[in-house]
Amino acid sequence: MSFEINPFESNPGWDLIKTLYHYYGLKDYIEFYYYDNFDEEKILEIEAYNSDSVQGDGVFWSKVLTGQIIKGQKIRLKNFQISPWFPRKPGQFWTYDASEARQFALSRHIEKINSSGIIFDIYGKTLMTELGGIGCVNFNKDRDFLLITATASGNTDEGIPLVCRRNVWNEIEKEFQKERLIEVDINGTLVNINTENSSYFLRSGGGVPRAAILVNSLLNIKIKTSRLQINVTPWTIFETKRKESPYGFTYKTHTLFQDTSVQNKLKKVAG
């Protein structure tokens, strides 16, 4: 009786290769290496700010909203900031309706202006959050693939959604644990945000595609230091005594690593 032997089965050396191949996401890294050297046109490169000072977040969302880039597109982001928070309604900030809602809130619903900035009344805050694209969520980082944001301006609401593997996030988190602000160069692929992340805390309005850039390789991200502040806008819903508007929204703009009293109060939300 004879037996066929698979030389790769239960082979410690082969198991190590497979582990490293998966850990570093070598398939995605090799794809970008190939395109860089043989077919550069396959990669859409977006600078945080180009030579005309056009914001990269706007470039990305303009192309997504007009169908110029679709699922599967290879994208390179250069010199973008990273926020551990995530837009509650990714991309909505860049729509025409959101711009109109914010302008209406500014023209009709300012309650007061002080050293902290503009404070809206209940209707203004609802316009800004529900229609204007303002509001962020800090999703728990306990999944194999995590939701974070790349932004050129430092404003998380305006940013580009990233879905990154846990080991990619671990490298980024090391910098945040030291309260270091960072910027990155990232290679990734445009994907749809997985339905498992759908919740009340992550909604797209106005027909905005649920698009994100998947960063699947540890070798496809280059981390650099930065001086740009990262702003987030935690939000909440509350009950009112008004029959015509029983619920309202409010939010507070917060700069990471600066206001520790606010930081300690912020709670993570599981998506």
| CA nearest to 126, candidates 11, 17, 235 | 235
pLDDT the model gives residue 121: 87
Q: List the one residue out of 155, 136, 133, 131 whose CA is nearest residue 86.
A: 136
Spell out the long-range contacts of 253-257 with Cβ–Cβ below 8 A and sequence spacing 24 or more.
253/117, 255/229, 255/230, 255/231, 256/83, 256/84, 256/181, 256/229, 256/230, 256/231, 256/232, 257/179, 257/181
Reported as a pLDDT band with limits 50, 70 and 90, residue 118 is confident
Average pLDDT over residues 34-59: 94
Q: How far apart are CA 2 and CA 55, in angstroms?
A: 66
Residue with tokens 């529900």: 130
Locus of tokens 């390789």 = 217
The position carrying tokens 């309650």 is 111
Burial-class residue 152 by CB neighbours within 10 Å (0-12, 13-18, 19+): buried
- Least trusted range by pLDDT, from 22-26, 32-36, 102-106, 109-113: 22-26
Q: Where are the domains of the chain?
A: 44-271
Each residue of 2-41: pLDDT tens digit?
A: 545 555 566 766 666 676 677 788 899 999 999 999 999 9
Contact 60, 68 (CB under 8 A): no
Rounded Cα distance, 124 and 240, in Å: 15
User: What tens digit of pLDDT does each residue of 208-263 get?
Assistant: 898 999 999 999 999 998 888 899 998 887 777 777 666 777 788 889 887 655 44
pLDDT of residue 125: 87
For the stretch 177-199, pLDDT in tens is: 888 888 999 999 999 987 555 45
Q: Are 187 and 74 in contact (CB under 8 A)?
A: yes
Distance CA 212, CA 222 (A): 19
Per-residue model confidence as pLDDT tens digits over 139-172: 888 888 999 999 999 999 999 999 999 999 999 9
- d(CA 166, CA 141) in angstroms, rounded, equals 8
**270: confidence class by pLDDT, cuts 50, 70, 90:** very low
